[in-house]
Amino acid sequence: MKTKTLFLICFFCQLSLIKAQDPHFTMYKFQPMYQNPALTGSFSGDLRVNLNHRQQWATVSEPYTTSHFSVDGCVRRTETAQFCIGAFIIDDRAGASDFRQLQPSLNMSAAIRVGEKSSIAAGIGAGVFSQSIHSGDLMWASQYNGMNYDPALSSGESIEGLSSTKFDVHAGMAFKFQTESTNMSSNDGVKGEFGISAFHLNQPQQVTLLTEDSKHVRLAAHAEMSIGIEATNSSVEPSFVVLLQGTQKEFLPGISFRQVIREESKYTHFVKKSALTLGCQLRTKDAVNILTFFELNNMAIGFSYDINISDFSKATNGTGAFEFAIRYMIIGKTAGGTRNAPIF
């Protein structure tokens, strides 16, 4: 009971600050369009599908759950430019009140080469931002009859059925580059990606306990690199994400190690490529994240776990967040008969 009471206190404190933070993921590589609209279609292939599910604080009342689904691909791609479209939806549910945030969006992006091995992209997205609260499963002090809890008693609260659905706009830019390996077996090449994005540019109205309030703009900066380790099938991949939203700040540095287990046969493609990635991240003042994902040909499956190091770990008994992700890509050929250009 003490744990549940502490959770409810924390929950309503979070509701009062909810305008300052969007749902977040540990394996953000599997939500490219939710990270930056400019990453729409930013992959080597024709079509990409991503699915994620995150559950956190499972030991405290009802767990928080966040799900993501997206699909994107290129409408037009040439040797020097591409135009892509995509869509994603985020479904975030919080605790016993079933506080829900639903964010569907349609995205588009355009990219051009700015060098032999570099490109710049810009993207924009639009959709709706919807929130709702239902108090049916919450317990209130006014429902204590002197002996025990009586759900038949009126809570005296009026938050049941609060909801808000508003138009939402976001945009971003990204820069990508790569350097080729010295030869086919040297594996000393480098790839990199840098981007900035802004969500809720029109600051849509959202639900709070008392009234509607404007959603803060979420600003993001992200970067990652893949640095080949010479004469091996391995690479080291440093990364970071910075999120700013209202008074909330999140810094997420990380590092991963990728091992190619088997190379794809160059001409017949009968032998499919496979690779394993292991990594860790630090979400400052919140969690240490351990992640892994396995790639086989056009599919990748990933798992992560967040080890809670915040003050809230007392209420959660140290339980953090578990995340699952899956990605599938259809990789075809361009009109010229070559594989899709990887620089984008």
Banded pLDDT at 6 (limits 50, 70, 90) = very low
What is the reported pLDDT for 150? 60
Q: Please tell me whether residue 231 adopts helix, strand or coil conformation.
A: coil
What is the predicted pLDDT for the residue at 269? 56
Average pLDDT over residues 246-261: 93
Given this model, what pLDDT does residue 72 score? 96
pLDDT, one tens digit per residue, over 16-27 is: 444 447 888 999
C-alpha–C-alpha distance, residues 34 and 88, integer Å: 7
- pTM assigned to the model: 0.82
pLDDT of residue 182: 75
For residue 267, pLDDT over 60 is answered with no
- Ramachandran sector of residue 108 (left: φ over 0; alpha: ψ -120 to 50; beta: rest): beta
How is residue 19 written in tokens? 């305008």
The SS3 call for residue 19 is helix
pLDDT digits over 281-328, tens only?
999 888 899 999 999 989 999 999 998 887 766 666 667 899 999 999
Please give the helix or strand (H or E) that residue 316 lies within, else none. helix 313-316
Rounded to 5 degrees, what angle do the CA atoms 191, 194, 197 make?
A: 150
pLDDT of residue 58: 63
Q: What is the pLDDT of residues 134-180, one digit of tens each?
A: 665 565 556 566 667 666 666 655 555 577 788 999 999 999 999 98
**Average pLDDT in the chain:** 82
What's CA 332's distance to the chain center, in Å? 26
Q: What is the pLDDT of residue 211?
A: 46
Average pLDDT of the residues in 185-190: 81
Residue scoring higher pLDDT (222 or 317): 222
DSSP-assigned letter for residue 27:
-
Concatenated DSSP letters for 247-296? TEEEEEEEEEEEEEEEPPPTTT--SPPEEEEEEEEEETTTEEEEEEEEEE
